[in-house]
Amino acid sequence: MNEKSFIIRGNICYSEAREQLSVTDRGYLVCCKGISRGVYPVIPDEYRDLPVKDYGDRLVIPGMTDLHVHAPQYPFRGLGMDLELLDWLNTHTFPEESRYAELEYAEKAYQIFVDDLKKSASTRAVIFATIHIPATEFLMKQLDAAGLKTYVGKVNMDQNCTDTLREKDAEASLDRTAAWLRETAEKYPNTRPILTPRFAPTCSGPLLEGLGKLQKKYGLPVQSHLSENLSEIAWVQELFPWSSCYGNVYEHYGLFGKEAKTVMAHCVHSSDREVELMKRNGVYVAHCPQSNINLSSGIAPIRRYLEEGIPTGLGTDMAGGANMSMFRCMADAIGVSKLYWRLADQSRKPLTMEEAFFLATKGGGSFFGKTGSFEEGYEVDALVLDDSGIRTAKELNTKERLERYIYLAEEGGQIVGKYVAGKELLLS
Ligand code: GUN
Ligand code: FE
């Protein structure tokens, strides 16, 4: 029997649609060769011979996708939260990322990051590295070995940053990126490359233009930052005065969704024009609520993006966010949506628990294809949750237990099983 063919038994929850949560108590999730054949209250005859992993009264949910996270920022997570974006980058982020020139430091730091990501609720992640090739390749190798499915980007930046992080010029940045792509091509089946212009201010026009060409040549996906902070947006307008909006800068150079799958972090202050462009090009939004709180960036209008049909998922943006908990991320997404509704626009209803769960699983998961749900045909990424440590005298149904886990994961919740594309990861 194929090791990726089995049945998981437990209290199974997954999103079918944005507001539609499927719950099957003591149900059976059938996995054949890593792919879901559906969730059933009793095992269908045709699957009777598959081995059953019985998780008793535990919760079983899809693995989550962290759609935006910075691996090199893990060492200073939870520190330096008293600045806005541009000062935060110069004061905390660029000095730390400069250290990844030294492979010994990078190995130590990335090993901790990968170990912790492996134990987290994320089965998939879209990750920024730094400009450094040996360090980035080490990160890719470790992530691949951990069994997580990820996109990793060697960062491009050739202006407006410290000397220690600036690639010499556009040509050097492009040559180095092409060398990194050649070096890592097909080498790490679980870890794929993604083009990563850090954000428009640190990339010259010639660099963005060259990245657009590299994108076409290799057919690569793209990740960057967009309209996170008001000073940042004003700066982009100064640097690219011809642009009609920040997103138009990426679009102009063929890096905004039309040519390739693209994810933009934040989109807190996107103009109507920008939203229209995102919508037209199917650009993903990585909503990073905790980062937006910590860096005083603002509140992204996620209800609007959902209503406009813009593909949206959640990101921790660690170390803008203090940690990599996707549970915390869901709770924060709900929380900030309530503030947005109350303070900014009363026509945009807060996110529900079902919607936040959808964003963390099926919404963001779609960046990787059919992942983030247990519907038939989806890759089986699964988490087994033990909530017995979150004590209460009250009797709760399965949906209530899931809701409570989102808010109280760190208060006694435990991930006791984790599967990626049907393969079980050993967590200890
Ligand atoms: N914009 C450009 N770089 C970064 C970064 O590292 N974090 C965040 N949150 N925004 C950015
Ligand atoms: Fe970020």
Q: Is the pTM of this model over 0.95?
A: yes
Over range 84-101, report the average pLDDT: 98
In this model, does residue 313 exceed pLDDT 60?
yes
Question: How far, in Å, CA of 397 to CA of 408, rounded?
Answer: 16
CA of 423 to the centre of ligand 2 (A): 29
Q: Is 89 in the pocket of ligand 1 (CB under 6 A)?
A: yes
* pLDDT of res. 428: 78
Q: Is the pLDDT confidence value at 139 over 60? A: yes
Pick the atom of ligand 1 nearest to 199's CA.
2
- Taking residues 132-158, what's their average pLDDT? 98
Indicate whether residue 93 lines ligand 1 (CB < 6 A): yes
DSSP 386: E
Q: Is the CB of 199 under 6 A from ligand 1?
A: yes
**Mean pLDDT rounded to a whole number for the chain:** 97
Q: Is the pLDDT of residue 188 over 70?
A: yes
pLDDT at residue 1 is higher than 60: no
| pLDDT value of position 413 | 98
DSSP state of 329: H
From 73, 166, 317, 329, the mutation candidate for ligand 1 (largest count of ligand atoms within 8 A of CB) is 317
Q: Specify the residue with its C-alpha closest to ligand 1, atom 11.
A: 225
Q: Considering only 10-14, 183-187, 194-198, which range has the smallest mean pLDDT?
A: 183-187
Q: Counting ligands in written order, which one lies closest to the CA of residue 66?
A: 2
Strands (E), 129-200: 149-153, 155-156, 191-193, 196-197
DSSP E strands in 271-426: the ranges are 284-287, 312-314, 382-386, 414-420, 423-424
| Number of the ligand closest to the Cα of 315 | 2
pLDDT given at position 3: 83
CA of 418 to the centre of ligand 2 (A): 26
The pLDDT value recorded for residue 247 is 98
Give 185's pLDDT tier (boundaries 50, 70, 90).
confident
Q: Show Cβ contacts of residue 352 under 8 Å, excluding neighbours closer than 6 positions.
A: 19, 334
Classify residue 111 by its DSSP letter: H
**Ligand 1 in contact with 317 (CB < 6 A)?**
yes
228 CA: nearest ligand 1 atom: 10
Considering just the CA atoms, what is the radius of gyration of the chain in Å? Answer: 21
Under DSSP, the state recorded for 195 is B
Task: Give the range among 258-262, 269-273, 303-307, 398-402 with minimum mean pLDDT.
Answer: 258-262
- Residue 70 Cβ < 6 Å to ligand 1: yes
pLDDT tens profile 236-282: 999 999 999 999 999 999 999 998 999 999 999 999 999 999 999 99
Return the residue whose CA atom lies nearest to atom 3 of ligand 1: 198
Cα separation, 293 vs 84, in Å, equals 10
Is the CB of 198 inside a 6 Å radius of any atom of ligand 1?
yes
Residue 69 C-alpha to ligand 2 middle, in angstroms? 6
Ligand 1 centroid distance, CA of 71 (Å):
12
Question: Given this model, what pLDDT does residue 113 score?
Answer: 98
Q: Is 328 in the pocket of ligand 1 (CB under 6 A)?
A: no
Ligand 1 nearest-atom number relative to CA 225: 1
The model's pLDDT over 194-238, given as tens digits with 9 standing for 90+, comes to 999 999 999 999 999 999 999 999 999 999 999 999 999 999 999
The preferred substitution site among 93, 96, 239 for testing ligand 1, maximizing ligand atoms within 8 Å of CB, is: 93
In this prediction, residues 144-156 reach a mean pLDDT of 98
The answer to whether the CB of 291 is under 6 A from ligand 1 is yes
**Which residue from 390, 371, 389, 391 is spatially nearest to 381, judged by alpha carbons?**
371
CB 300 within 8 A of CB 264: no
CB 67 within 8 A of CB 365: no
Confidence of residue 306 (pLDDT cuts 50, 70, 90): very high
The mean pLDDT of 153-161, rounded to a whole number, is 98
What are the distances in angstroms from CA 298 to CA 227, 336, 349, 420? Answer: 10, 9, 17, 34
- The CB of 88 under 6 Å from ligand 1? The reply is no
Ligand 1 midpoint to CA 396 (Å) = 40
